[in-house]
Structure 1
Amino acid sequence: MSPITPRRSVLAVSVACATVAVGLAAGSGTASAGTLSGTLYRDPDTAVARWVAANPGDSRTALISSRIASQPASRWLSNFNLSTVQSEVSTYVGAAAGAGQVPALTVYGIPNRDCGGASAGGAPDLTQYQTWIGGIARGLGGRTTLILLEPDSIALQTCLSASEISARNQALATATRTLKAAGAKVYLDGGHSAWNAGSEQARRLVNAGVADADGFYTNASNFQSTGNETTFGRSVLSALSGSGVTGKRQVIDTSRNGGAAGDWCGDDNTDRRIGRYPTLDTGDANIDAFLWIKPPGEADGCAYAAGSFQPSLAASLATGAANPPTTTPPTTPPTTPPTTPPTAPPTTPPTTPPTTNPPAGACGAAYTTSSSWQGGFQGQVTVKAGGSAISSWSVSWTLASGQSVSQVWGGTLSVNGSTVTVRNAAWNGSLQPGATAEFGFIASGPAGASGLTCTA
């Protein structure tokens, strides 16, 4: 840990210690204030779960099992290996889908990671980094996944020159678009409330391509209270809006923020506690999730090796924490985004109402504006099969005056004059009766897409 960044925490890098994931708004039901809903995925094979299984007689086991191992936390991808990352992601995401839940991944492989601190490492260069990101995207296979992209990559830039910052920003923006095209919900590094000012963090997020992302996450590198992070998040969102970027949401890491803040390195600190348990039921329209991005009990690299699971740390965090809520997993995988509005109104509602085309025949399409900014917008289209199974689909509409589509994910774009057509990707063309697929796009001009037609 460099002395010039006393307010941040070194992050774990061990894939073996990485854990669990998250469900989101691909699920049925109503999103609870944020844009996400569903049941969080709890990986049965994590460092804490393995320790609990191997130590049934330890006096700390019951506490750690009930208050930490029982909960979902983010699965980290931090081992740079081009040959295995696709299969690793595919296996993990597939297991979550089989459980009827949607996973979350913390992607941690940017070159010059942690500015050479205790979590140093990552890809040898940005070209190979994008190849690695491509493997992750292929592993997703179009299955909606919550991705926390590169902790500290935006908040920590003290070791980078101006040209290196520019190159990193471009790399993060490219990675965001690649992962979005594979169906991911992508959140960028927002630092935390005791680090950069909200306006400065927003400026950095804009430079790193947050307009193409779903939002940002905070507190993965520290222990600031949820209240502080919520206030900080609102200041970042306000500054983003002032820059013309709207419709974004915050994710807060609550894994270790139930006690004292202060000293950046938590390995020897016994006054920290587990914060809020992971949930998508945030009750706040600005916040998509409270997550355990950093798995409780994994070291920061001070007294113990970064990423190693330490039962003494886990027990300390769990002591005094409330018993976790009980949850019942869904019996079927989530497939359809919620259609009922959030219980609290979103701060930036869609700028145009959904355009629907009920599938009386082979298929239908419904459009909504997911975010907008000065001169452009992001749209989302849900394709729904009718009464018969289909093996492919295409959706067409006519561009309004001043509109042009620059990017599509979840489908293949073609434009003929003012007519836009998006055809299914290789992985989402086959739909059973009543099943849905989604694609999104970035466009310039006034928000909206009317007159959608779907053919199969």
Structure 2
Amino acid sequence: MRKRLSVAGAVLLTVLAAVFVFVQPAHAAAGFSVANGRLYDAGGTEFVMRGVNHAHTWYPQQTNSFANVKALGANTVRVVLATGDRWAKNSAADVGNVISLCKANRLICVLEVHDTTGYGEQSGAITLDRAVDYWLSIAGALNGQEKYVIVNIGNEPYGNQGYATWATDSANAIKRLRAGGLAHTIMVDAPNWGQDWSFTMRDNAATVFNADPAKNTVFSIHMYGVFDTAAEITDYLGRFRSAGLPIVVGEFGFNHSDGNPDEDTILSYSQANRIGWLGWSWSGNGGGVEYLDMATNFDPAQLTSWGQRIFNGANGIKATAREASVYSGTTPTPTTPTPTTPPPTTPPTGGCTASYTIVNQWQGGFQGEVKVTAGSAAITGWTTKWTFAGGQTVSQSWNAALSSSGAAYTARNVDYNGRLGAGASTSFGFIASWNGTNPAPAVTCTAS
């Protein structure tokens, strides 16, 4: 990620040239592997990344972050490293310690070089070839860790200039890494500050994939302001799925200075299609994008609204992450009951209506969501109320100001989601406990 993104105009869509079909490995591999456009861990189990980015190179003292993101449910952490060209070099010993922290916390490590960010447009940025020099220089820390580590060659390797050589440079970088003995799954980022508005990665991904002698490469798209509609997100990711090419969303946010990403579609489409993602970022952002911190001052007890959304929200980490099978452990699989939506109890015209849904449920706990919809006229604020009948208790909530008196709950809009046009909707969510039964209450809505 860069602190300020510049985005070019719209480019006409083109169709991927070829569809490739690959055979799933019949047995466990030495490390991660790719088949049929899917990523498999060394246990032979399909692995879908659900995690966050962590700016280790700028905050090397924040080693508790690995345990903290794991405790919140993540199965992967993408770790920012530096070659020494733009930021202080992360030594082989330091990288070895990072890998140990990931393993101790049963996380998969995606290691990325950040010095390549915006090459051709950003002063001081380095080439992918220079990034390969770094990876080969610390190969001693990487070799033997193929079960736990994925190598992301270089972050956002081109800005909006000079990116025409992305395919050739990426292919050559992969071949150099393989010739140097790295057997890990390799991840390659898109150009255009990672957002690929030119579709350079999309239209050349098959060529780059086939340049890898191991056929063990994953593609990473970063979704910020370029991906501000559901159509753009589903079309881009869908073309990789149709072509049988592995794709992950290596970075994304819920807001950005270059536009407002549609994070709800990123999460829902990825969950429906088993596509991995890594949100940006745990903590420590600056330069005007501090709002992308998930935790204030690296404190897991102080999750921001973005942190609540990505960890505890619909299709978020807590609800969807599954630990890699190489750790010989599994996280409880939440049951997903049929959504229960009682009829709205307020008039369909004017005012607002509210509906209650159980998004996920597991033993002793569940995730709920309330959708608020304006009636035939715009509203400037809303208040919803309900009373639990089964002893349920809310422990966390997001996108609403929630209060309670015994079993009675009241949720009011926050400053950014109170104004709704006629027929428009918003939603808020919560995590709650239950014991015995978990009936869905009726919810009322009052507009202001």
Task: Give the alignment's TM-score, normalised by structure 1.
Answer: 0.45
- Structure showing greater Rg: 2
- Larger relative contact order (C-alpha < 8 A, sep ≥ 6)? 1
